Structure 1
Amino acid sequence: MQTTRLRELIAAEGPYASVYFEDSHDTADAAKRLELTWRDLRERLAEQGASVPTLDALAEAVRQGTPPVGRSGRAMIAANGEVLLDRHLPTPPTGTVTRYSALPYLLPLVEYGEPAPVHIVAVVDSMGADLTAFAADGTVLSTETTQGSEHPVHAVTHAGEIRRHMEERVEETVKQNLRLVAEDINKLAQRVGAELVVLAGEVQGRSALHEELPEQTRRLAVEVSSGSRQDGVADSDLRKHVHELLEHARQERLDDAVRRFRAESGRDGGLSVQGLQATTTALREANVAMLLVDPAAQDSEATVAVGPGPEQVAPQQEELTAIGAETPVTGRADEALAVAAIATGAEIVHTGDRLELMDGFGAVLRHD
């Protein structure tokens, strides 16, 4: 997960209330279930010491939030009466999480909130296409329609030369229309930084369009056997296919991170470390390109020393005082290391069951 957008969050003054819960909206009683879930979460946070203004701010955000479509999770972090993060998660958490602590608890956000690639869905027919660009969080970035020529795009039954001439005109009109669509998709992909282009709609049209795309965009394109311009991106089969493609892309991204760590671990002088000692040292030196965590990091209640600077973390307080850090305190490792990674611009990856790390933490380094 890219962490740039989380820097403002860790700059806020704590303590923080962090909550994660299922927020699915796929049954008739979804609103009632959400009300009951929040009531339980509020009680648990209050027992941990969360202030009334912070609880009220979270409650208001829950009431005013836009319901998701289908299954979803939700991550919310607040401090001092202000909601700092309120995000739908593509994968619902396996259980509710509440934590009130000096630092925000961000590992469930990494585990369940790995963002989808920025993507475009193009629903195509012989006349043109409807293009919708989606951000990583699923919000719509742009909607466009490319409408081609108004000349006939279906052959009329005639005999002999007249019929052949009409068929040639139809074919050329369709090609021209698809060239226009390909140009517009390419421009849109460059503008929004698309990582995936989904081609849906008429089978002949989408296949021909695939070939018309410039090489750079063609490599991002995948065809799906669903969708029509009449139904657009609301088509249930199309949405299912797009969801499957996005989930596959998420898993591939995680697999790539694990392969990178293993490759570095498997060579002499490789740019990888694991365990609390080596990982915290690399974080203090701002030498972590990617912080990796596995489920053991969240199951453990391991603590580390935390200095005044968010990147100042170490297994023992003596290590921080030795470098001049004043009044280090004790904090949970599963909070402090994530905050240190964000402060130093590192990515954070939850490896799931793909990788077992010493103490639950590892890192891919920036340099030797």
Structure 2
Amino acid sequence: MDTTRLRELVTGDGPFASVYFDDTHNTEDAAKQRELTWRDLRARLAEQDASEVTLDALEAAVLGGEPPVGRSGRALVATADGEWLDRHLSEPPARSEARLSRLPYLVPLVEYGELPPPHVVAVADRIGADITAVDEHGTVVDALTVEGTDSHVHKVRRGGWGHRDLQQHTEELVKQNIERAAERVAASARSTGASLVVVAGESQARKALLDALPEPVRGHAVEVQPGGRKPGSGEDELDRSIDELLADAVRARRDDVVERFTAELGKPTGLAVQGLEAVTTALREHNVATLLLGGLGSGGNGDTGDNGDAGGEVAEVLTGPEPALLALRENELTAQGIDAGDTRRARADEALLVAAVAVGADVISVGERVDLTDGFGALLRHD
């Protein structure tokens, strides 16, 4: 997960109320179910002494606004100063979370809210294409229609001496329209750094568009059958196809991180470490490129749970005045010139993610793909 947009969050003042829940909206009573879910979450936060201001800010966010379409999860983080984070998750969390703590709790956001890679979708026909580009933050940055002319861009049905000339003219117009669309698709792909280009629409048009794309962009392009430019032309099927492709891309990205981590860990001086001691040291030195989370689970309302330690208790670390100042022992922080009175204890499943955001590291949940010591690993920037 790209943590760029979380920087402001981790520099704010707590306590933070972190809420995660199933926000699926696919039944007639979905709105009522959301209200009941929120009542439970609010009660759990109130038991942890969350302020009324914080609770009201969360309530306005949860119950207000447009509901999602279909299966969805929701992530919210707020303080008494207002709402800091409100994001729909690609899938509902395994269970709802309501935690009030000094630091924001981000593990479920990483587990269920990893954004797909930047991508471009082009739905083509003989006239042109509808193009949508999405950046690495999940934001639509380009949504436009590129069209040429529809003059004579139809199958010629009459014979006679002019038939061949008309047919050639039609084919040339179609070619120009497709080339114009391909140029725009390529420009959008380059500007967003898209690693996936989805091409849909009329069979001949999408094949022609694929052929017209420049090689670097064509290498990331995938042709799908559903969807067309006319209303009712399989939009739902197209959306499902795109969702599947994006989910595959997210899985592939996680698998790639695991492969690189395993390879580096196997080298005598590889750029990978695991375990709380090694990872906190790397974070303190701003030497983490990607923080890996194993099967940490969650601790619900701040209760103890499986957080990667052998005893089943919540793993803790020491923190200093700055988010990245982490250690397992006090002398490691005092050696940095930090007064012992300025150190505090914090949950590892909160402090390490906050530190990773602060140093500009990516964070990725690898689940059970690799057995990480203490539930944490890191790919390093340098040895």
TM range (shorter): over 0.9
Q: Tell me which moved more, 193-202 or 331-340.
A: 193-202
Residues 160-203 of structure 1: CA distance to partner in whole angstroms, max 9, x if unpaired?
65433333222222111110110111122233333322111101
1:302 alignment counterpart: 315
User: In structure 2, how many angstroms separate the alpha carbons of the residues matched to 1:155 and 1:295?
Assistant: 58
SS of residue paired to 2:84: strand
Contact 1:297 1:359 in 2 (8 A): no
Of the candidates 312, 320, 327, which is equivalent to residue 314 of structure 1? 327
- 1:30, CA displacement in angstroms? 1.0
SS of residue paired to 1:92: coil
2:355 alignment counterpart: 340
Contact 2:226 2:234 in 1 (8 A): no
Q: Which runs of 5+ in 1 are unaligned?
A: none
In the alignment, does 2:326 pair up with 1:324?
A: no
Q: How does 1:154-173 map to 2 (within 5 A)?
A: 154-159=154-159, 162-173=162-173
- 1:157, CA displacement in angstroms? 2.8
Residues 68-120 of structure 1: CA distance to partner in whole angstroms, max 9, x if unpaired?
11111110001114110000011110110111011000111111011012222
Structure with the largest fraction of helix:
1
2:42 alignment counterpart: 42
Contact 2:34 2:63 in 1 (8 A): no
2:85 alignment counterpart: 85
Change (3 A) 1:233 1:30: farther
One-letter identity of the residue aligned with 1:259: E
One-letter identity of the residue aligned with 1:248: D
1:103 alignment counterpart: 103
* Percent pairwise identity: 53
- 1:232, CA displacement in angstroms? 7.4
Residues 39-89 of structure 1: CA distance to partner in whole angstroms, max 9, x if unpaired?
000000110111110000000111223211111111000111411000001
Contact 2:317 2:345 in 1 (8 A): yes
Contact 1:291 1:346 in 2 (8 A): yes
One-letter identity of the residue aligned with 2:358: A
Contact 1:125 1:202 in 2 (8 A): yes
One-letter identity of the residue aligned with 1:312: L
Contact 1:130 1:229 in 2 (8 A): yes
Contact 1:55 1:81 in 2 (8 A): no
Contact 2:291 2:379 in 1 (8 A): yes
User: In structure 2, how many angstroms separate the alpha carbons of the residues matched to 1:168 and 1:247?
Assistant: 42
- 1:149, CA displacement in angstroms? 2.2
Count the aligned residue pairs.
Answer: 368
Q: Tell me which moved more, 154-163 or 259-268.
A: 154-163
One-letter identity of the residue aligned with 1:361: F
2:262 alignment counterpart: 262
Contact 1:155 1:163 in 2 (8 A): no
SS of residue paired to 1:296: coil
User: In structure 2, how many angstroms separate the alpha carbons of the residues matched to 1:175 and 1:305?
Assistant: 64
SS of residue paired to 2:296: helix
Pairwise CA RMSD of aligned residues? 1.7
Change (3 A) 1:266 1:161: farther
- 1:138, CA displacement in angstroms? 4.6
- 1:217, CA displacement in angstroms? 1.6
Contact 2:228 2:234 in 1 (8 A): no
In the alignment, does 2:287 pair up with 1:287?
A: yes
2:7 alignment counterpart: 7
- 1:347, CA displacement in angstroms? 0.8
Q: Tell me which moved more, 126-135 or 282-291.
A: 126-135
2:112 alignment counterpart: 112
User: In structure 2, how many angstroms separate the alpha carbons of the residues matched to 1:190 and 1:32?
Assistant: 44
Contact 1:297 1:361 in 2 (8 A): no
Q: Runs of at least 4 residues of structure 1 off by over 6 A?
A: none
Change (3 A) 1:366 1:233: farther
TM-score by length of 1: 0.96
User: In structure 2, how many angstroms separate the alpha carbons of the residues matched to 1:231 and 1:349?
Assistant: 38
Contact 2:24 2:30 in 1 (8 A): yes
User: In structure 1, how many angstroms separate the alpha carbons of the residues matched to 2:186 and 2:270?
Assistant: 38
- 1:322, CA displacement in angstroms? 2.9
